[in-house]
Copies of this chain bind each other. A is one copy, B any other.
Amino acid sequence: MEKPNITAQSAMRAAGGRPAKVSEVLELLGRRVVTGDYAVGETLPVEKELIEELSVSRTTLREAIKTLTALGLLEVRTRHGTRVRPRQDWSLLSRDVLRWMQPVEGVNVELSSAIDEAREVFEPAACALAAVRADRREITRIRLAYEAMERAAENDDVEAAIQADKDFHLAILAATGNPILEAFDTAIDAVLGLLFKAAIERHMESFRKNLANHLRVLEAIEQRRPEEARQAMLDMIGFTRRNLENYQIIKPIS
Q: Which A residues have a C-beta under 8 Å from some C-beta of B?
A: 3-4, 6, 14-15, 22, 59, 62-63, 66-67, 69-71, 75, 77-79, 85-89, 91-94, 111, 114-115, 117-118, 121-122, 125, 129, 132-133, 174, 178-183, 185, 187, 254
7 nearest A-B pairs in the assembled complex, by CB-CB distance: A70-B70, A118-B180, A121-B125, A67-B70, A66-B66, A92-B183, A63-B66
Say whether A181 contacts B132, CB under 8 Å: no
A106 to chain B, nearest CB (A): 19
- Quick one: copies of this chain in the complex? 2
Given contacts A66-B67, A122-B121, contact A3 B115 (CB under 8 A): no
Whole-angstrom CA separation of A93 from B3 in the bound complex: 19
In Å, the complex CA distance between A4 and B114 comes to 25
Give Cα A178–Cα B184 distance, bound, in whole angstroms.
14
A59 CA / B3 CA spacing, docked (Å) = 29
Partner of A63, one of B62, B79, B111, B179: B62
In the assembled complex, the Cα of A118 lies from the Cα of B254 at a distance in Å of 25
Contact B122–A6 (Cβ < 8 Å): no
Residues from chain B with a CB closer than 8 A to the CB of A133 are: 254
